Structure formats: C-alpha cells, structure tokens
Structure 1
Amino acid sequence: MRTLLLDGHPRAGALSSHLLDIYQAGLPGVTDRVALADLAFAETAIRSYAAVPEWEPDLADLWQRIWAADHLVLAFPLWWGDTPARLSGLFERLFLPQRAFAYHRDDPWWERGLAGRSADLLITMDTPPLWLRLAWRAPIVHRMRHQVLGFVGFKPVRAFLFGPTRRGGAERNLPRWEARVARAAQSAPGLRRGARHAALQDP
C-alpha cells in the first residue's frame, strides 16, 4: 500500500502534524508526505471553470502523488465549522472537472477520477466531538465524505475527531489520541478499496 500524508494545517508544526507523525510511524509500505504550508499556489485563482489557470509546479507535483497513492491521510483543524480556507482552495484548484471527475452527457451521474483510493481524516477541533455529532450532526464529516473526497472517488473515507484541544484538552488527551491514530494506521491496509479508473486525462 502506498500512502500519502497531507498536513492540511496552514501553519507548520501544529497538532495536525504531530498526529501525522504518529500515523506515519504505524504504517507499512511506502509513505509520501506533503504539508500545505510548504505549497506555493494561488488558492483563489479560479473564477470560472470556463477559464481554469494552469497548475503551479507544486500542484502538478501533488496531483502526481495523489494519483500514485492507494490511501490518503488528511489532517487539518476545524475552523468555523470547515476546513481552513487555504485547504478549501487547494481542493478547488486540484479537483478539476475532466480530471478529478467528469459528468455524464446523458444522465445526472459522473465518473469519479480518483476511484480505487481510500482516505482517513484526522480532524482537530475546539468543539467536543460528541457535541459536534449529536448537536450539529458533524457536517464537516458529511462534506468531506460525500461532497469532496467521496465525490472524486475516495471510498471508504474514515473520520477521526480530536477535541476539545483548548484549555489543556490536547495535553490531557494526547496519549489517548495517539493510540487511536496508531490503531487507524495499523488498520488502513485492510480497508476495502474499489477498482481504479483509467485517468480522465493524462495524470
């Protein structure tokens, strides 16, 4: 199994990065790692899909790494109920029509260009995870599982929620969180992935 770890925190060295360290230590096979903080790209460059700008070198390189991966591990903080703006911008720039997905001409469905890959989400937050699920029904999990990663073919998409991080929560709970991340890494090779599709365009 080839795994890509993507640190989706805009700042290097955050809790997201530490959780990825733990995940990476428990992984068999080949691992690759990229940090959002190290990528140079314009996250607001798209105004219309009718005129999509060329990828910067870092985006072209990241696409190749995603294409080569069997499993994606994405770690990020929950900010205002969503991914950080720069991470959302990365999805906009990277998951393009006719490359990451392609609508059918004669029905409402679409081809998922990244089918055959699984993903794990490591989401840190100030909100208690139980409250996020019971009171708000964890919209970030539904969005990522169905409208972002699932939309382009990642399946299954598992979500691991870590919080609250404030008022010493991260320090008190870190050993338990680390153990949970290690278990996720150990179980990742056993995930059932579907068949890969041919590239919609040359990857």
Structure 2
Amino acid sequence: MSRRIAVIIGHPDSESLCHALAAAYIRGAEASGAEVSVLDLASLDFEPNLRYGYRKRTELEPDLLHAQHTLLGADHTVWIFPIWWASMPAVLKGFLDRALLPGFAFRYDDSKPLPVKLLGGKSGRIIATMDSPVWYYRTLLRDAGITVMKKGVLEFCGIRPVGVTRLGSVRGSSDERRRQMLARAEQLGRALK
C-alpha cells in the first residue's frame, strides 16, 4: 500500500519559494509511489477568525471539511510555510484555529490533565523558510514558530515524529542556493520524510 501524504502550503503567495518547495517535495514523493493530496491554504475559502473560541460552535466551510478529511486520510503530513515575525503566516494560524478543533484533533477529558490526542498514527515534516540565517533563528529567537508548530500543534494533536527542515537565508540567496533548497525538498519527498 502506498504512503498517503498531505502537503499543506501555508504561504499566501502562489509564486513563493514555499510553493516551489511544495512542488519539488510532491515530485519526489510521487516518484517514490506516494499518494499526495495538497492543501494550498491561500486558495481555500474559509473565515480564518475563530470568532467565539471554543465557547460557541461555528459551522465549518466546505473547504475546511475537505481539509479535515484530507488530514484524516494521510499517514504523513508536510507543512511548508515561511517564518514571518518569528512565527507562521496568518493564513496558516487561521487554518489551525478553525480546522484543528476539539473533537477532531484533540478531545478534553475531565479525568485527565491534558487533552487526548486524536491525530495519532501520523508522522509530520515541517519545511520552514526564513530570511534570517538559520543559526540566528534557532539561537536568538529560540526556534519560536517551529516550536509552536511542532510541539504546540502537531505533537499536541498526536502527530509524531515530526521532522524539521529549516531553510534560510532566503532573502538575497543565489539561484544556486535556491536550487539546493528545491533539491533538498525533492529528496525529502523521495525519502517519504
């Protein structure tokens, strides 16, 4: 049985390096026989504001229902996004707020101190681009946005292990450096990581 991979693109610009990295990853994964589904968050039609928190239920738009179905059907999830202001873009944060809801991604249990993880049995990969040097982001900013995504979102919901690929400095990078980044993404896809 082939591996089912969901690639989630969290960059709002379809001409971004993140989209090119997603295409490279998908090429590699499909060459290795994987079944790949793509969620390009900027093209989904949904309200990113979780207006009432968890106090009041808001009906999910068809695109979010489809996204949840895609995530449930995947063995492996790949999250590709830029680091902006040490974190993720608003479109990705809004998607997480609206799609990874209690009852879908986790469940509260009054007899336990921590929520029950409902997305177990899946692995994950984060591919994050940044304008700063990777060492700066990891050391001075303490890997803030990646830690939130890996620990506070994916592992919180049961997705593990989660591999991380950090790609920087994008701003001012040469064509050769970008080719190397794309080759790395394709290699990860080929290895189904």
Give the TM-score normalised by the residue count of structure 1: 0.87
Structure 1 contact 164–170 (Cα < 8 Å) conserved = no
Matched, 1:135 2:137: no
Deviation per residue, 1:93-143 (Å, 9 max, x gap): 011112210122212022111111111111111111111112222112211
Q: Provide the C-alpha distance between the structure 1 equivalents of 2:110 and 2:100, rounded to a whole number of angstroms.
A: 19
Q: Provide the C-alpha distance between the structure 1 equivalents of 2:11 and 2:89, rounded to a whole number of angstroms.
A: 7
Of 100, 103, 110, 2:108 maps to: 103
Instruction: Quote the RMSD (CA, aligned, Å).
Output: 1.4
Name the counterpart of 1:85. 90
Structure 1 contact 118–156 (Cα < 8 Å) conserved = yes
Q: Provide the C-alpha distance between the structure 2 equivalents of 1:48 and 1:141, rounded to a whole number of angstroms.
A: 23
SS at match of 1:188: coil
Of 12, 17, 20, 2:19 maps to: 17
1:22-171 alignment runs, 5 A limit: 22-27=24-29, 28-167=33-172, 169=173, 171=175
Higher relative contact order (CA 8 A, sep 6+): 2
Gaps of 5+ in 1: 190-203
Over the matched positions of the two proteins, sequence identity in percent amounts to 30
Q: Provide the C-alpha distance between the structure 2 equivalents of 1:13 and 1:154, rounded to a whole number of angstroms.
A: 29
Give the TM-score normalised by the residue count of structure 2: 0.92
Structure 1 contact 117–155 (Cα < 8 Å) conserved = yes
Q: 4+ runs of 1 displaced by more than 3 Å?
A: none
> Using a 3 Å threshold, how does the CA distance of structure 1 residues 170 and 147 change in structure 2: closer, same or farther?
farther
Q: Provide the C-alpha distance between the structure 2 equivalents of 1:43 and 1:49, rounded to a whole number of angstroms.
A: 14
Q: Provide the C-alpha distance between the structure 2 equivalents of 1:98 and 1:34, rounded to a whole number of angstroms.
A: 21
Aligned residues: 188
> Structure 1: which amino acid aligns with 2:80?
A
